[in-house]
Structure 1
Amino acid sequence: MNGPAARRPRRFVLLAAVAAAALAADYATKEAALAAFAPGESLPVVGDLLRFTLVFNTGAAFSMGRGVPWLFFLIAVAVVAYIVFMARKLASGAWAVVLGLIMGGALGNLVDRAFRPPAPLHGAVVDWIRVPNWPVFNIADSCIVVGGVLAVILAFRGINIDGSRESDPPTGTSEDPPAEAEESGPRSDDGGQKP
């Protein structure tokens, strides 16, 4: 048996593995940034194209929406819960990777909000990657954005979470071919008259 039902456990394992890898990468790089830099300190990596700059963000992704950390904590919890709920239908490998990236990113920032200073559930997210004309961000933010872009691509291509594909739109109509001239009765070439 190799149908969608048989693939679901494997896809869920893939989702969990991608989420765990994203969470681990995010946590490890944040801890490395905390150990290497003082708040506000900036290190050029590729000139001005890429810099490592340690900042603490109490708002949303990419240092936006400061002032209501508890709201973003609840949003992250809702995102994770929704992905777990949707995973019941998961039979697509591509969607498993996408949802794993989004879930891992959400969990990465959720851990910061739950446990980092200044207070439980009001913690500041550690951001440390800076590129020109873009807010400072972290690996978790990157996973969320990449996962979101891939989700749009999958939806655009008609790939569903259960592994099925949307039917191609009809290229023509299903109208019956023009009917032949209707016969109104017995046909006689001579009009029914004998010579």
Structure 2
Amino acid sequence: MRRKAVVVLGLTALFGLLLDQLTKELSTNGLTEGHPVRILGGLVHLSLLRNSGAAFSLGSGYTWVFPLVTLVVVGWIGAMTLRLRSVPWAVALGLVLGGALGNLGDRLFRAPGVFQGHVVDMISLFGPYGEYFAVFNIADSCLSVGVVLAVLLELTGRQRDGTRLTKRATASDEPGEKTTA
């Protein structure tokens, strides 16, 4: 089961990374900053934006910190693969890894320079310039969905090693026991 989980993690990360890079390439070649494209009746706008910060442009003055945090996250996910036996956790971690690597690539290889590159964002909901929600990219979506999935897995007692925590049906406050699922 470990091998299957690691393969799922790798393929999920690769898919997220490739989709992110493809959409960024198409956006930088096909969109012009300041000229959004309205689609789906205005529900979505494609607006080319280069973001030096995190979500909602937070931390714009600290662009160099984001690649360092990403490297720590990538290392942590790598360490998690040693005990990974859960396919749902593999999907969650794969999404986080793919998204992290997608934005890391921008931080390392895009202008204005290494560890200070601006992330390419292009998806704006309900308005062309992020008036109602942050402008984001596929990597951001992968990260968000992966983190939400990981939180749900934790809340439901699913463990990365494939076991599941269950609560005993007694009146005592003994900790839950592990069972394989």
Superposition pairs of residues 147-166 of structure 1, within 5 angstroms: 147-166=146-165
Are residues 13 and 139 of structure 1, via their aligned partners in 2, closer, same or farther at CA, if it must alter by over 3 Å? same
Does residue 8 (structure 1) correspond to residue 2 (structure 2)? The answer is yes
**Contact 1:56-1:125 within 8 A present in 2 as well:** yes
Larger Rg: 1
Return the alpha-carbon distance in structure 1 between the equivalents of residues 169 and 56 of structure 2.
43
Q: Answer 1 or 2: which has greater strand percent.
A: 2
Question: Given the two structures, how large is their TM-score scaled by the length of structure 1?
Answer: 0.82
Q: Deviations over 1:44-76 (max 9, x none)?
A: 002331100000001113533211111011111
Q: 1:1-195 counterparts in 2 under 5 A?
A: 7-132=1-126, 133-173=132-172
Alignment-mate amino acid for residue 82 of structure 2: R
Percent of pairs with identical residues: 43
- State how far apart, in whole Å, the 1-side matches of 2:138 and 2:115 are: 20
2:179 is matched with none
- Higher mean displacement: 33-42 or 56-65: 56-65
Q: CA deviation at 1:20?
A: 0.4
After superposition, the C-alpha distances for 1:149-175 in whole angstroms (9 at most, x for unaligned) are 11111111100000000022333359x
Aligned residues: 168
Amino acid aligned to 2:33: P
Quick one: structure 1 residues 118 and 165, their matched pair in 2 at CA, closer, same or farther if it must change by over 3 Å?
same
Aligned equivalents of 1:113, 1:173: Cα separation in 2: 51
Q: Which runs of 4+ in 1 moved over 4 A?
A: none
TM-aligned CA deviation for residue 9 of structure 1: 1.6
